[in-house]
Structure 1
Amino acid sequence: MQKQTVQLIGVPTDIGAGARGASMGPEALRVAGLAAVLESHDLQVHDIGNLPGPANPWLPPDQGYRHLKEVEQWNQTLHDAVHAALARDHLPMVLGGDHCLGIGSISAVARHCRETGKTLRVLWLDAHADFNTAELTPSGNVHGMPVAVLCGHGPKELTGIGGTTPAISPSVVRQIGIRSVDEGEKRFVHKHGLEVFDMRYIDEKGMRHTMEQALAGMDDNTHLHVSFDVDFLDPEIAPGVGTTVPGGPTYREAQLCMEMIADTGRMASMDVMELNPALDVRNRTALVAVDLIESLFGKSTLMRKG
């Protein structure tokens, strides 16, 4: 039987972020041994290196968006790389980079699902809903907008990547771990019916129930995409991010989340976003991220008979 191929796609940019440093994320994940960990699970790893793209000009917002032209270029290049990987039946793993890159990644996955008749489910593991628009946030940082853009709210340069606007419906998204949402953004989330399992929900119901709900309704025709923002984790275990928010999932809660995703056998693409080595301690956050990624591919802390 042919081994499954995981294609690593490095995207070294912090073009959509409010702090510099996420551009170094792909290398930190490689240094933390990502490829070797995946190979230990009988996967074939094809690391295509880092995609090329424009430098970060570090300018203030222009008409509500920072670096719109550069954000478009990075996301179009990423879209093309992810779409090509899926066409080869590879599992693309995007190594970010800031979370604005979810636009290019998920628009490519959505396009692939349209072309193959698959049903898309997106798990958005994050401290933030990322459902802002230029009207809702003064910062203009696009890493706070990717889910809104994917759902058709934003400049046409971004909403049109992938060839269909909107790229996805809010109904395909399940957000987990959310604990920092702007007031206007909160109203916008409710208006569009985004399904959010925030930290209060996880506190009250537990991670197991949360994941059962988030994964419900999938079948053999489901393409599951996991978009993992490292700030999903509590900063006590993952300090190396530009937008830390206290009170995130613990190490064990995060492990259970990943193991339950692995149990479905449906994950077919993923992002690892917002790792910022400039803010980390001895690459600790990258090591935790790689450990959790390993759980997505079948490592389990439980002693179970198969």
Structure 2
Amino acid sequence: MKDSSRFIKILKVYSDIAGSKRGASLGIDALMESSQDIGSRYFKKYKAESVITNKLLENESTNFPHAKYIDKVYDVVKDVAFRIKEFREEKLFPIVLAGDHASSAGTMHGLKMAHPNDEIGVVYIDAHADIHSPYTTSSGNIHGMPLAIVTKLDNKKSAINQLSQEEIIYWEKIKNLTGKEASIKPENIVFCALRDFQIAEENLINEYNIKKYSAKDITYRGIKNIVDEIFEKLAHCKHIYVSFDVDSIDPLYLPGTGTPSENGLSFEQALQLNMQLIKNKKVCCWEIAEINPKFDENSRGTNAIFKILEQVTKMLIHRY
């Protein structure tokens, strides 16, 4: 009997420089502590690599008000992209444990580098749309921009900011890591648990007819029905990436994230949604992001997220 676990490799991305609050970089070690607390051998069983970034100094300023710390975020995205490319070329299934969600741009770029001629679908489980650009953002936080990065959607029709030349240079660099073509087509994105987005993002969702499901949709229509629809929508895609931002879960259950948003999923819904998605053999990469233990009293939420990680990985192994 083959050891399916050897086809899995974990990438730990210790970065929280793209969010408004620090602490998401601590989420990975918090998951490892949860694993130890229950006697799990999860992190001993699977090989792992790490992407570690320099922490910001206290009160460190940025020269990029509309794309904060983009010079540093670019390095993270580039590093993640080349790691993911290597994993896929080695026929490995990457499980990415990320700090802030900006690094998901690197994951998607890396998948495009590894599969340059194939359609790649994205199932984005998140309270937020993350498709702002420096031209449309009101905060300047790049964890709200990964989908704009990989789709190359500046959305200048909804612009509220005028960028400096240096900001433009870095923005073009981070978008163009994979060349002239966008890494992800906007029509190949499906949102799950989406509920907190701005007009500029809504304009893009409507323009490109991006499919979105709210937590209410998932509750009333049922997870299996939603997942069946997702894979029908992405049937033309050869590879599918699932990105699970824990703020998709309602803060009643999970306060331990930097950008909580009410009316989200329950833990059980998040678990079952990811379990159903990972069964599909087109899924080639799965990611968890935005766990912030600074806001998680007694590690209750982190422990539950580790159980999701463990159960989804078991389902992944079972499908091989």
Give the stretch that moved more between structures: 286-295 or 172-181: 286-295
Counterparts of 2:3 and 2:222 in 1: how far apart (Å)?
Answer: 38
Per the TM alignment, residue 62 of structure 1 is displaced from its structure 2 partner at its CA by: 2.0
The residue that corresponds to 1:272 in the other structure is 288
With over 3 angstroms needed to count, the CA separation of the structure-2 counterparts of 1:60 and 1:54, relative to structure 1, is same
Counterparts of 2:40 and 2:30 in 1: how far apart (Å)?
Answer: 14
Per the TM alignment, residue 135 of structure 1 is displaced from its structure 2 partner at its CA by: 2.4
The residue that corresponds to 1:95 in the other structure is 97
The residue that corresponds to 2:142 in the other structure is 142
What is the percentage of aligned positions where both structures have the same residue?
21
Does residue 255 (structure 1) correspond to residue 257 (structure 2)? The answer is no
Per the TM alignment, residue 29 of structure 1 is displaced from its structure 2 partner at its CA by: 1.7
With over 3 angstroms needed to count, the CA separation of the structure-2 counterparts of 1:217 and 1:184, relative to structure 1, is closer
TM superposition outliers: structure 1 runs of 4+ over 6 Å: none
Counterparts of 1:22 and 1:247 in 2: how far apart (Å)?
Answer: 22
Per the TM alignment, residue 54 of structure 1 is displaced from its structure 2 partner at its CA by: 3.1
With over 3 angstroms needed to count, the CA separation of the structure-2 counterparts of 1:121 and 1:188, relative to structure 1, is closer
Deviation track 1:132-184 (CA, whole Å, cap 9, x = no partner) reads 12222221000011111110025212101233431110122111000101122
RMSD: 2.5
Does residue 242 (structure 1) correspond to residue 258 (structure 2)? The answer is yes
Counterparts of 1:29 and 1:61 in 2: how far apart (Å)?
Answer: 33
Counterparts of 1:33 and 1:164 in 2: how far apart (Å)?
Answer: 42
Counterparts of 1:298 and 1:219 in 2: how far apart (Å)?
Answer: 25
More helix by share: 2
Give the stretch that moved more between structures: 184-193 or 132-141: 184-193
The aligned runs of 1:121-140 (5 Å cut-off) are 121-140=121-140
Conserved in 2, the CA contact under 8 Å of 1:5 and 1:46? Answer: no
1:188 to 181, 204, 217: 204
Conserved in 1, the CA contact under 8 Å of 2:94 and 2:286? Answer: yes
Give the stretch that moved more between structures: 1-10 or 166-175: 1-10
Q: Which runs of 5+ in 2 are unaligned?
A: 155-170
Q: Give the residue type in structure 2 aligned to 1:21.
A: G
Does residue 166 (structure 1) correspond to residue 207 (structure 2)? The answer is no
With over 3 angstroms needed to count, the CA separation of the structure-2 counterparts of 1:37 and 1:250, relative to structure 1, is farther
Give the count of matched residue pairs.
294
Give the stretch that moved more between structures: 273-282 or 249-258: 249-258
Q: Give the residue type in structure 1 aligned to 2:84.
A: V
Conserved in 2, the CA contact under 8 Å of 1:262 and 1:298? Answer: no
- Tell me, what secondary structure is at the counterpart of 2:196? coil
Q: Give the residue type in structure 1 aligned to 2:66.
A: G
Q: Which runs of 5+ in 1 are unaligned?
A: 301-306
Per the TM alignment, residue 282 of structure 1 is displaced from its structure 2 partner at its CA by: 2.2
The aligned runs of 1:108-119 (5 Å cut-off) are 108-114=110-116, 117-119=117-119
Counterparts of 1:136 and 1:228 in 2: how far apart (Å)?
Answer: 24
Per the TM alignment, residue 63 of structure 1 is displaced from its structure 2 partner at its CA by: 5.0
Counterparts of 1:130 and 1:61 in 2: how far apart (Å)?
Answer: 22
Per the TM alignment, residue 187 of structure 1 is displaced from its structure 2 partner at its CA by: 1.6
